[in-house]
Structure 1
Amino acid sequence: MFFWRKKNNQEQQDREAAEDKIVHHPSEPDLEPVQDADPQIDPEFTKHELNETETEVIEELEEIPSPASRPVDTEVHHESGGGWFSRLSDGLSKSSGKIGLGLGDIFLKGKPDEASLAQLEDLLIEADLGPKTAAALVDKMRERKFDKGDTLAEVQRALVEEITKILSKTVRPLNVAKPEKGPRTYLVCGVNGVGKTTTIGKLAYQLHFKQHKKVMIAAGDTFRAAAIEQLQIWADRTKCPLIARDIGADAASVAFESYEVALKDGMDVLMIDTAGRLHNKANLMAELEKIIRVLQKYGEDIPHEVLLVLDATTGQNAISQVETFNQIVKVTGLVVTKLDGSAKGGVVVALADKFGLPIFAVGVGEDIEDLQPFKPESFAQALVGLSA
């Protein structure tokens, strides 16, 4: 492991070059597939070396082979149309297109009345905001007074305001501050296929390269070889050490060992991947409870966060996933992925309304910087199709 330091201009250039290679990596690791069984993993996937010089890191980065996966767009589109909001709007285009067209059909000809409000409620339900949230939003719209001017624009602005109020309940930044003792520890949960591994990798990139934190990753999903292999790829890309063991190893032992190593080596953040086999809920519950139990030997507040990763394309099924995982382990915050591939972005509003859990980040693309902190008003504007 290493720290980036500004000693001179040359080292700064080296750092920027290394980061650029990561951001413009030729391929993303595949999203983890759902599997029932796995072959044995090579014992080579154990502990990632911690002591590397900056020169060695850059040389190693240049030698890392690209993982075999489908081709993706590797351009990082930062400058087009307003940066992150532009990418958020592009990512939510399927959802905003459905809502925007629907609003146009309903309100282009006149002020809201009971018939048009009933249509609005149906539209919001179809956009996966859920019946309860949709009804509450329509009630708020019913209370508003609309002028005879541009009714559609007024309705859009009003809808953005009301959605923002709901989403604002979720505002809390992810705490990355190093505690007095040991690393800030995140337990990352979610069903197989939602993008847990990719989320861990992108968070590691943000924390390490953008916030200059010493980050360690632990492969706590010991059921699937693919999960460990993908984490190894992300560890290599983000230059973060990985603690991993053979398939079938005790996940709690991996978590405990990773915390011990992170404590000894002065890590700032430890992220622990976990299994997501909801079809075997009893075993998963026992495994997660054991992981938490052994971690709490170091402190009752560990893990500091339990992050649940959700796939937006599942729509209202994400609600049941939160309910299920809350029965297994106390979820403290959410990360919502794959908003760019879904017309069901409204489920984020339903999640905020029902659970009030912090939404720490949303993913709107495959680029390494397409996982960003959640901003309620920007999300509401992008969802409704209203320009910032």
Structure 2
Amino acid sequence: MRKLILIGIAALAIVHPLRAAPAAGNSPSSAKPAGVAQAVTVTVDTDSTKAVLDAVLNPALTMAEALRIAALPGNQGLIRKARSYGRPGTDELFAKALVAAAQRDDAAEDPGKFRFGPVREHAAQIRATLAKLEDPASHLLARVKARIAEFTPSSLGGHVTGYLIVGGTSGGFAFGGPEFFLNLDRFPSAALAATIMEHELFHAIQGIARASSPTADAACLAKIPHSEELSRLFMSLEMEGSASLVGDVSAIPAGIDEESDKVRKQTLRRIDQVGQSITLLELSTHGLRTGAQVSYGDIYALGFYGDEVLYALGYVMARAIASEEGKGAIAALTGRPGALFVQRYRKLKNYGKSEDVPVLFPATLQAAEQLAACAEGAR
């Protein structure tokens, strides 16, 4: 099966790779000379999307064919994502769900929640979205490339693979490595799909950056109760907040299409309710620091699944940092412990002086300062 490298981002990235943004405060003249800076190249694989679309429209699909489709790398990510939600995710269950959808047996059991029935019904729309993304004249993928380059750390190099998929319950996801997955069935708008691609692609950039960044001092962290859980909480806040700024749904112009308008309005509503996010972060931090009998998984699910309450706060914080200190400040924080993100936000000149830079509660700030000290000591 042919692997398609999308010309708008991948081929350009090979010829003119994603160039890093200068660090905050650096002038262009202080940046590395052209040809010396590290670069990140990107390829985008559409095999999984095209194979599943063909399969769900083929009533004669066999289990052997379905298992071959399940083995494609993009679909392996979909199976892995099902397991991350605590669902049974296997190649066999994927294949059974695919065959059931092809035979229009929408009452068949689907324990992995691959949801290929809706994919079948939306097949024409998904193909249209994919065609727009692949069309160089749309400039959508060139825009993705340019946006990512603005936030990429100056020393970063590597390769990212993006997989366009269909099915499952997530719109886009990554696992912390140099890859990302985008479910086109959730984004019938090409403009919205490109914006979410920016978000997920930046997660892959974060994964590369984290692998090469210094970690916090272990001996220092050992002196802080529940430091591992607190570090994970602030890391998620930074990662989702920064990625939400890079792939900024709220900045999509109104009137492009109905679906983009709908998601944009939902995002703006969450941002308007950022006070609830601040309260949830404080309660979560307090609970972790005091050893409350609530698992980190429960806290994560409350803040980053479902209504994604903490996404809004992370976005507001990242937006404020970039507004005051430049996009290079976000690049400099990428891959570093999340407590440094909270600390950087707290030290902004406009902190607490504007509704766009709201104040955080004491437990959050105290925990972040403790963890940040351990991170700074490891530099």
TM-score band by shorter chain is under 0.3
Give the number of the structure with larger relative contact order, counting CA–CA contacts within 8 Å between residues 6 or more apart. Answer: 1
Q: TM-score, normalised by structure 2?
A: 0.23
Structure with bigger gyration radius: 1
**Structure ranking higher in helix proportion:** 2
Q: TM-score, normalised by structure 1?
A: 0.23
